[in-house]
Amino acid sequence: MKGTLPTDAGLLDRAEAGIAATGRAVYAAGIRPRRRTRELGLLILVAVAISVGWASLQSFRAGHFDMSDASLLIVFLGTVAAVHVAFVITGRRMDQVLLPAAAMLGGLSLLLMERLPQDLTAQSLGGALLPLAPLQAVWLVIGFAVLGVVAVFVRNDGWLRRYK
């Protein structure tokens, strides 16, 4: 019959066995995913606040509601979301307020750089001439990527506590 799905019991058994094997391998590697609901809730609040600020700024410039150029905002929020997902997957028991606080400060800095005249200054980075807001977005993405890598791969911070 056209439009029916195959109900191969062997296929389902192989899929369930594959999922179970993946789960065992992840658990054996020491990765224990953990929900970070407080962090997620605060990140949603940050995303809403920064998006409203972005919409307000773009609408003021255009004279009517306008969200046409939100690429920097999307890149920034996507980077923060990727770091959050990395924290959830690796199951780190870290403070759940620090990432949203850093995201809010970073988002506000991006809004402020977008608000300023873009020809105020520019920096050449990799052959491209970047005005203020894209340059700020580049540095924010680099900063959050470093934050995520260090938080995920530095499993034991005892050496840092002993540092004087």
pLDDT of residue 76: 95
pLDDT of residue 159: 75
Decide which of 162 and 73 is more confident: 73
pLDDT of residue 45: 97
Tell me the percentage of the chain whose pLDDT exceeds 90. 35
Model confidence at 40: pLDDT above 80: yes
Q: Per-residue b/e over 74-92, b at no fewer than 16 CB within 10 Å?
A: ebbbebbeebbebbbebeb
Write the DSSP assignment of 51-95 as a string of letters: HHHHHHHHHHHHSS---S--HHHHHHHHHHHHHHHHHHHHT----
pLDDT of residue 94: 82
pLDDT of residue 8: 64
163 sits in the region (left: phi over 0; alpha: psi -120 to 50; else beta) called beta
Q: Is 131 exposed, middle or buried (0-12, 13-18, 19+ CB in 10 A)?
A: middle
* pTM for this predicted structure: 0.75
